[in-house]
Structure 1
């Protein structure tokens, strides 16, 4: 069950993919981590999918990651008279905090935190930016705005506020209930939507209490302003280009994507690039050339994972979409310029001993032609540090913790195996060689690199590097 690529694939589960047979087909096609989108579906629906994935994991003998994606606070207009109004450029409209059957003079916007935070000059973007309004005045009971780009405003359409930081927790009551349910199920990752500031992650960590890894979804301009702190506090990051592409100009998204991916690589945190990667494949058996190039760009950037959303959740060709993404990744990683691009964007000089050991392992493995780097890891940190270097050979991570093996399904280049703790140097050598041979990473008389922390079974101590000869006897 080896993947002959380094970047990982995340696939969203939905009506098109929730059946156990389809989940198995998607896994065999290349999915490493499944995303459960709690914006849709009931708890019973997600519980059935979770059970099916864990049964598949037991059947195949391979760890499979499960990511719970929380909905977050959805800001929407209220109920409008006749269900919709059409506004034209230059028109003046008003928003009010409550009321029903609104019109252009009193469009319901039942979010008092907006009235407290929005300022003249800020923009309100409705229906994914199709309607753009600039605020001209505000008080506690009314926001007046000029229409910049006209269109239709209909009931319950979403509202984005790119220039406004709201005094709003990213965890709604629904999210808190969903989070408790997901943690009880045993999800491996929790994705937090609409992160605005570092404090949002502190609040989420306080609820998760280490039971799952925390993924910060970067989709607000304010998150970009605090990117370094958000990356430091998160366990992983998602470049959520859907809402991000609404709230910042389209032409800024590619550069911001590169900034986020690089920041995560420097911090040895997994990063997922998401949204519309193969969007044409929702209803077509092949992507556009631009979409194929988009996936390849994320791979050249050094992303740990790329994600399918509607393509696998509700599309007509979910397995084809995974197979296509797998082929694009593999072909990109085999391209003659890939290694030069990845090396050129490397972390540079290492300033801590654990990172230096991990970097040295990658360099030494390349120098002696080692087919694999074996990393003993109790928390996943050692494997992540080696992955930060983006070595040419695969990383075989051996961990006693089943949860860690599942979380490593998001980390670039890592093939995770669960095995009992090692206690001596001799255990380390014999276990590394036996598993490397059994998993078909190496054969006699190859030399492999083994990285571990001593004392053994202590998280965060990457301090030992050894070259081991595979004995053919």
Structure 2
């Protein structure tokens, strides 16, 4: 049979992760009493292991692509959409408003030309600690074993004996024995002593390295007292993101639930923008459950997180975060260096291909490409290969066992909500009857996301009703329809389509049935369904009446 993969099972009841629950020293575990359970099919005969996924297998795992110099023209965006891009990421660590607006206009034109929907995610630069300027004005070499003064006086010019940093509280944040990493970890210091009054730290270089000006710094394990949104971030949101109509905001360096609340207040109650919290440091790991509860989704940002924790712990932390998000029913994105070698090469390494597949087996909803699509030589090839890998990984999952496990987990925390009970029932019905798809109507997206939570093997066609047509069915959500449809593109297995009842003066049940039929017709048009296929449908009528039906494509 095929090899079985280990999938982390989270603790039965959600609880805040204490600092000693995510102990990151050698030999320690993320959670000592955590069990593992396999969710892979164990009956794949050897010849089938080498068979490719069926052409009818609809890609369930979504792909987030960072747009940049290699991927910002209309033609380039069209190619990415056809290859499998579901969400376009705009990285606000780089570029002007004019640059990003031009890219977004090109993306929307490409979406119109291809008829392929794409969500827009704005990624904040976030708070950061950087080294200062240098006496040489260029680069400086620090020798292993040399003692260096690290100062919070950012006006000071660096030299082989001095490093200026932009964080004024550094001397009261780190302690003797702490590590300070500069330039993505290429230069490492160990703290010898601290002088908070002078704002200085004495440190020893642990390796020899040459770095330039204004390089990033990481303080592993330290609680950094910086706001989650800088003044630049707030301006980027209010002057660009909300004006341009983004669908998601990826909030950098979220550390606790109150950070998410602050971001939500900045966005405003009526923005409709969904918040994806990026997990990038130890404090966020300590508060992971409260962050998940407050967020609309989570990003496992392995770049900065990998600077904060030992590398040998990364796989364990990734599995744990993904599992917690799965149980909470929140979409999770796995990011950073997934196909890094494809920045320069037309094919990924074997390790990268396995990394993408394992993220899918862990339970991620989406996988993300950064430099591979933003500035790489082979952006379309990267998306094409990533889509192929995710499809292969998905066909190895035992969806029935996975759905039953999630149901058991949900019941351990008490009774389900009515809508979650209906969503899980729809998934079980589809699995037991071998239906070809699940079709649901959406006015808020809650039911669709809960169906995705239970990981059906079938695609989930989400008929999104425009705001002006919702009254006919009894829906009351105010979220704009197209925004709601695009926001489905980050949850595994969801295929959104805009639908409207043909007749608005009929009874709500009849209007809902018309919208369902239009959703099914879209599935046939896209090749997801064929005439004669069975589908499971789920929809609400007049707020309180919910219907699960078996239907046949005609």
Specify the TM-score bucket, using the shorter chain as the normaliser: over 0.9
Shift in Å at residue 5 of structure 1? 1.0
1:393 matched to 2:477? The reply is no
Give the aligned partner of residue 382 of structure 1.
447
1:251 matched to 2:308? The reply is no
Give the aligned partner of residue 175 of structure 1.
233
Taking the aligned partners of 2:553 and 2:123, their CA distance within structure 1 comes to 46
114 and 347 in structure 1: CA distance in 2 versus 1, 3 angstrom threshold:
farther
Give the aligned partner of residue 452 of structure 1.
539
Query: What is the root-mean-square deviation of aligned Cα atoms in Å?
Result: 2.1
Give the aligned partner of residue 412 of structure 1.
492
Per-residue CA deviation, residues 234-279 of structure 1 (Å, 9 max, x unaligned), is 1111111111111111111111111111111111111110111111
1:129 matched to 2:213? The reply is no
Taking the aligned partners of 1:30 and 1:331, their CA distance within structure 2 comes to 14
SS of equivalent to 2:406: coil
Shift in Å at residue 444 of structure 1? 4.7
Give the aligned partner of residue 468 of structure 1.
550
345 and 16 in structure 1: CA distance in 2 versus 1, 3 angstrom threshold:
farther
Shift in Å at residue 433 of structure 1? 2.6
Shift in Å at residue 145 of structure 1? 1.7
Bigger CA drift: 135-144 or 251-260? 135-144
220 and 393 in structure 1: CA distance in 2 versus 1, 3 angstrom threshold:
same
Shift in Å at residue 149 of structure 1? 3.5
1:214 corresponds to which of 266, 272, 275: 275
Taking the aligned partners of 2:115 and 2:75, their CA distance within structure 1 comes to 17
Say if 2:64 and 2:368, in contact at 8 Å, map to a contact too: yes
1:67 matched to 2:127? The reply is no
Say if 1:302 and 1:342, in contact at 8 Å, map to a contact too: no
438 and 194 in structure 1: CA distance in 2 versus 1, 3 angstrom threshold:
closer
Give the aligned partner of residue 260 of structure 2.
201
Per-residue CA deviation, residues 151-172 of structure 1 (Å, 9 max, x unaligned), is 3343212100112111211211
Equivalence map 1:98-177=2 (5 Å):
98=153, 99-138=155-194, 139-141=196-198, 142-177=200-235
Say if 2:142 and 2:209, in contact at 8 Å, map to a contact too: yes
Taking the aligned partners of 2:95 and 2:72, their CA distance within structure 1 comes to 11
Shift in Å at residue 338 of structure 1? 5.4
Give the aligned partner of residue 51 of structure 1.
105
Aligned residues between the structures: 465
314 and 344 in structure 1: CA distance in 2 versus 1, 3 angstrom threshold:
farther
Give the aligned partner of residue 333 of structure 1.
394
Per-residue CA deviation, residues 101-134 of structure 1 (Å, 9 max, x unaligned), is 3334432123213234223332211111122222
1:185 matched to 2:240? The reply is no
Per-residue CA deviation, residues 305-341 of structure 1 (Å, 9 max, x unaligned), is 0011111000111111111111111122223x55478
Say if 1:300 and 1:342, in contact at 8 Å, map to a contact too: no
Give the aligned partner of residue 361 of structure 1.
426
Bigger CA drift: 37-46 or 90-99? 90-99
Taking the aligned partners of 1:469 and 1:293, their CA distance within structure 2 comes to 38
Shift in Å at residue 425 of structure 1? 1.6
Bigger CA drift: 81-90 or 220-229? 81-90
SS of equivalent to 1:439: helix
Equivalence map 1:180-329=2 (5 Å):
180=238, 181-210=240-269, 211=271, 212-329=273-390
Per-residue CA deviation, residues 370-396 of structure 1 (Å, 9 max, x unaligned), is 211111111111100000000011111
Taking the aligned partners of 2:280 and 2:407, their CA distance within structure 1 comes to 25
Taking the aligned partners of 1:255 and 1:18, their CA distance within structure 2 comes to 35
Give the aligned partner of residue 32 of structure 1.
86
2:406 corresponds to which of 346, 352, 363: 346
Taking the aligned partners of 1:349 and 1:243, their CA distance within structure 2 comes to 31
Shift in Å at residue 230 of structure 1? 0.6
TM-score normalised by the chain length of structure 1: 0.93
SS of equivalent to 2:85: coil
Taking the aligned partners of 1:3 and 1:115, their CA distance within structure 2 comes to 55
Taking the aligned partners of 1:178 and 1:224, their CA distance within structure 2 comes to 27
Taking the aligned partners of 1:315 and 1:444, their CA distance within structure 2 comes to 42
Give the aligned partner of residue 149 of structure 2.
94
Bigger CA drift: 280-289 or 59-68? 59-68
Taking the aligned partners of 2:221 and 2:152, their CA distance within structure 1 comes to 19
1:403 corresponds to which of 483, 493, 496: 483
Say if 2:141 and 2:210, in contact at 8 Å, map to a contact too: yes
SS of equivalent to 1:284: coil
SS of equivalent to 1:255: helix
TM-score normalised by the chain length of structure 2: 0.80
Taking the aligned partners of 1:242 and 1:349, their CA distance within structure 2 comes to 31
447 and 101 in structure 1: CA distance in 2 versus 1, 3 angstrom threshold:
closer
445 and 154 in structure 1: CA distance in 2 versus 1, 3 angstrom threshold:
closer
Taking the aligned partners of 2:362 and 2:244, their CA distance within structure 1 comes to 34
Taking the aligned partners of 1:143 and 1:177, their CA distance within structure 2 comes to 33
